[in-house]
Amino acid sequence: MKVLVTRPIEDGVKTVERLKNKGVDAVLAPVTAITSTEQTPPPTPFNAVLISSANAIRHLPDDARMRLLHVPIYCVGEKTASVARASGFTSVNTGTGDGRALVKLVASSLKPSATLLYLTGTPRKPYIEEGLRASGFEPLVTELYRTIPVDPWPDGARASVETCDKALHFSRASVESLLVAAEKAGLSSTLRGLTHLCLSEDVAVPLRENDYSQFLVATKPSEEDVLNLLHIKET
């Protein structure tokens, strides 16, 4: 079994290393890259900070991070929470890996009058902001990073795809970029021959829309549950 990983390089390297530690051959061929927007949140006091991706923490300027270290932080899932703790945040609350669940966690913990800072990127789905506003909150949003497609896909990607039989997908944007990159590289038919393992139903949407039939969705939106779809054990 050989697994294709198309995550941005920061997370992709860690996923490939984890797979290799499980005895699984994996290749990294990113179809998206993460760049900083150079934005910084205002020095306003906040009651809580919301983060839906570890990329927001990675691209948070140091001076802003120091101001926010002791503010309660609400993370979408354990992976993001672990990055927050490693960055020095002292009060970390962890969701179940889903944006809507994160909104429920915040709404059950805070009053609508709380001053919220949402650190995020672009493009993104509107679930968190819409859910917060529907619950009476008015979050201040700071876009810290931008996801862009890798175009053109490196020449080595063809060999990578052609030797794989499974692919891991962690975001809808990366699947959309993969489909475009594969078409440009003349690999669409090869891509259809892979079994695609998706973090969530939302991630799988582009595959459904393009009539892909060989895909599975994790029972919970976490990396661990996606890897469980490979039916492998830790070594």
Residue of 144, 165, 168, 148 lying closest to 222 (CA atoms): 168
pLDDT in tens, the chain (235 residues): 999 999 999 899 999 999 999 899 999 999 999 999 999 999 999 999 999 999 999 999 999 999 999 999 999 999 899 999 999 999 999 999 889 999 999 999 999 999 999 999 999 989 999 999 999 999 999 999 999 999 888 777 777 888 999 999 999 999 999 999 999 989 999 999 999 999 999 999 999 999 999 999 999 988 899 999 998 644 3
CATH of domain 2-31+152-228: 3.40.50.10090
CATH of domain 35-147: 3.40.50.10090
2-31+152-228 and 35-147, same CATH topology:
yes
Q: Output the pTM of the full model.
A: 0.86
Domain ranges of the chain: 2-31+152-228, 35-147
Q: Which residues contact 201 (CB under 8 A, 6 or more apart)?
A: 217
Q: Which residues contact 59 (CB under 8 A, 6 or more apart)?
A: 34, 36, 37, 121, 144, 145
